[in-house]
């Protein structure tokens, strides 16, 4: 994951981080749409991005979202989040790509 993209974590990030970590412990494949949206909300790079739109409850633009994930720079503890969200996108919307 290399790029100049900076990841922004919203207010309440401690609670979101705990929820994501617990969710991934219970569902390592991140098959839950709720968990995927929470991860997207924590990783998106601002308004107008595919991850922000998905986090807000809109349809997932799989191609754009995967591109954003590939460009994301995240701290080490969030790398499993990127992997899980990427897996979710590929599992649920991969045929659209």
For the stretch 2-41, pLDDT in tens is: 434 444 444 457 888 899 999 989 887 668 899 999 999 9
Q: Which of 64, 41, 45 is nearest to 6 (CA)?
A: 45
95 pLDDT band (50/70/90 cuts)?
Answer: low
Higher pLDDT, 51 or 5: 51
CA distances to 2, 61, 85 from 20, in Å? 23, 22, 11
Q: Provide the mean pLDDT of the chain.
A: 83
Give the Cα-Cα-Cα angle 44, 9, 24 (nearest 5 degrees).
80
Tell which wins on pLDDT, 8 or 64.
Answer: 64
Q: Please tell me the pTM assigned to this model.
A: 0.78
């Amino acid at each position: 994951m290399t790029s100049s993209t900076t990841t922004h974590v919203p207010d309440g990030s401690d609670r979101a981080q705990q929820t994501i970590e617990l969710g991934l412990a219970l569902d390592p494949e991140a098959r839950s749409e709720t968990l995927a949206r929470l991860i997207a909300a924590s990783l998106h790079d601002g308004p107008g991005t595919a991850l922000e739109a998905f986090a807000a409850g809109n349809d997932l633009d799989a191609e754009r979202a995967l591109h954003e994930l590939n460009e994301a720079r995240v701290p080490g503890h969030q790398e499993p989040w990127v992997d899980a969200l990427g897996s979710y996108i590929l599992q649920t919307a991969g045929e659209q790509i």
